[in-house]
Amino acid sequence: MPETFGHKFAARSGRKLDEVYAIGKKKMGEGSYGYVSKATHKDTQAVRAVKCIDKSKVPDSERFESEMEIHGELDHPNIVKLFEIFEDTKNYYLVMELCTGGELFDRIVDEAGKRDDGLAFTESHAATYMTQILGAMSYLHVNEFVHRDIKPENFLMQNNEANAAIKVIDFGLAKKFKPGSGDWMKTKAGTPYYVSPQVLQGKYDEKCDVWSCGVIAYILLCGYPPFYGDVDADILRMVKKGNFAFPDEDWSTVSSAAKDFISVMLTMKDDARPSAANLLDHPWIKDKAIRSTGAVSKDLCSRMKRFTGASKMKKLTLTMVAQNLKDEDIKELRDMFVQLDDNKDGTLTVQEVQEALKKHEATMPPDVVEIIKNLDTDGSGSIDYSEFIAATLTQKQYLKKEVLWAAFRQFDKDADGSISLKELGDVLKAEEGSMGTELVQQMLSEVDADGDGQISYDEFCVMMEAKD
């Protein structure tokens, strides 16, 4: 069994924000908590969004810490990535993936305004969006998280293109929860239009997210919610009854499959409501969602094999690099991942990769199954997004000086020009038991050519340049 390591690199930085990022002067958005600005990484030139949060306006510091903890663990192509956390005496600064296409809510309003009938998206576009949304929900639930505040305002569009990817944001109400455990959540959380009846009753599970997704699917097709009222109390009364309709004037041209898809999500009894994973297999999704067009590289297996033959330290670094490269630099790899992900849950199984390789007539060695299994560097049982990107990066992508320097500095927490045993252990969270101290020492020794107990930048570069 190969040694595994965690992929949670969105740790607090010991440096000042302006040492690492050039902050844009214009604010992208502002709210009661603070503001959001663009920021450019000084080494890689990657453009990020920085959310500045006034510490004095954080009502519950424990919940805020939980939000950052949860967000930092997530690795899915339809969930906004949290890269780094900075803080000073006044503020927290969350460095996140930049999305420039605005909220899904605004996209719905814009699309409805373009059509003579006042409706929102075509069934094809709605099904495509719901595939991405439910894929993210399936990922969250499998990893034992519940979002609890699913609404169009909490989905951003990656860019302004018509086929832009959707990204889930705002994990302020998210909670660790094990589906099927028999436990219940009791805190009344969420937003009136989208909240499930069980949340209002104070006894619910992860299916609360599925209900909210049903409301979103309804809105995507007609432009208005299934439960409505002049004030919150009226809306909540309708939600508790669970009665909704598909008025002929707006829904006569919508397929029965689409109506069934919405109806099963808005099933009153949560134990009869399907899971997000099951919904991805619904006939409407299968029939209407736009298929991804990413190509599967003929040399995919040889790329993966090179990765599995790399040293543990190099695998760790490549995984870190994969999470921090500019989006445009890995677009081809992202598209390939989406193409391989047949059930659209944001992770890959050995079977999914095998079937895609056969379908695209890629070269497959006899030990292809073992190669694919070895990509699972965190031991989760499936291949996560960053694991796939790390395994398929080309040397041209990861050997750029600015990329190597940025990766080195993520290890070199005290910025003294070398990586110590403690710094490497801190990145690997060795104290949590996923990576023993002895193994951390072995990883350092493999790279420490001069035997001084540290990894210099030159030694780090030699390791990354080595032919695997």
**CA atoms of 318 and 316, how far apart (whole Å):** 6
pLDDT at position 357, please? 87
**CA atoms of 105 and 83, how far apart (whole Å):** 25
Using CA atoms, how far residue 132 sits from 208, 279, 291, in Å, is 18, 12, 12
pLDDT at position 207, please? 96
Q: Cβ contacts of residue 301 below 8 Å, gap of 6+?
A: 357, 362, 363, 364, 365, 368, 371
pLDDT at position 436, please? 67
Closest CA to 344 of 77, 135, 142: 135
Using CA atoms, how far residue 329 sits from 21, 22, 335, 427, in Å, is 19, 20, 12, 25
Which residues carry out catalysis?
A: 149
More confident position, 356 or 197: 197
pLDDT at position 326, please? 78
| Residue 38: strand, helix, or coil | strand
**CA atoms of 8 and 408, how far apart (whole Å):** 16
CB 86 within 8 A of CB 18: no
Mean pLDDT over 2-13 rounds to: 70
**CA atoms of 397 and 171, how far apart (whole Å):** 31
pLDDT at position 1, please? 40
CB 238 within 8 A of CB 229: yes
What residue type is assigned to position 203 of the chain?
A: K
Is the confidence at residue 372, as pLDDT, over 50?
Answer: yes
Closest CA to 263 of 253, 274, 271, 252: 274
Q: How many angstroms from the chain centroid is the CA of residue 193?
A: 25
| 241: confidence class by pLDDT, cuts 50, 70, 90 | very high
Q: Of 104-113, 212-221, 312-321, 351-360, give the lowest mean pLDDT range.
A: 104-113
pLDDT at position 144, please? 94
Sign for the pseudo-dihedral over CA of 15, 40, 396, 329: positive
* Domains observed in the chain: 17-97 (3.30.200.20), 104-288 (1.10.510.10)
**CA atoms of 273 and 267, how far apart (whole Å):** 5
pLDDT at position 118, please? 56
pLDDT at position 10, please? 67
Quote the DSSP letter at residue 361.
T
Mean pLDDT over 285-308 rounds to: 87
Closest CA to 276 of 63, 76, 73: 76
Is the confidence at residue 406, as pLDDT, over 70?
Answer: yes
Q: Of 11-15, 56-60, 80-84, 453-457, give the lowest mean pLDDT range.
A: 11-15
3-state helix, strand, coil in the chain (%, to 5): 45, 15, 40
* Average pLDDT along the chain: 89
pTM score > 0.95 for this model?
A: no
Give the number of residues written for the chain.
Answer: 468
Percent of the chain with pLDDT over 70: 95
Closest CA to 137 of 276, 292, 331: 276
Closest CA to 312 of 438, 412, 402: 438
Is the confidence at residue 413, as pLDDT, over 70?
Answer: yes
CB 240 within 8 A of CB 192: no
| Residue 164: strand, helix, or coil | coil
**CA atoms of 261 and 284, how far apart (whole Å):** 7
Is the confidence at residue 431, as pLDDT, over 50?
Answer: no
132-163 pLDDT, tens digit per residue, is 999 999 999 999 999 999 999 999 999 988 88
Closest CA to 373 of 300, 298, 426, 308: 308
SS (H, E, C) 374-409: CCCCCCCCCECHHHHHHHHCCHHHHCCHHHHHHHHH
Q: What is the DSSP string of 34-58?
A: EEEEEEEETTT--EEEEEEEEGGG-
Q: Cβ contacts of residue 331 below 8 Å, gap of 6+?
A: none
Return the axis-axis angle of helices 123-142 and 207-222, rounded to nearest 10°: 170
**CA atoms of 125 and 290, how far apart (whole Å):** 7
| Residue 7: strand, helix, or coil | coil
Percent of the chain with pLDDT over 90: 58
Roughly how many angstroms between the first and final C-alpha of the chain, as a whole number? 20
CB 33 within 8 A of CB 93: no
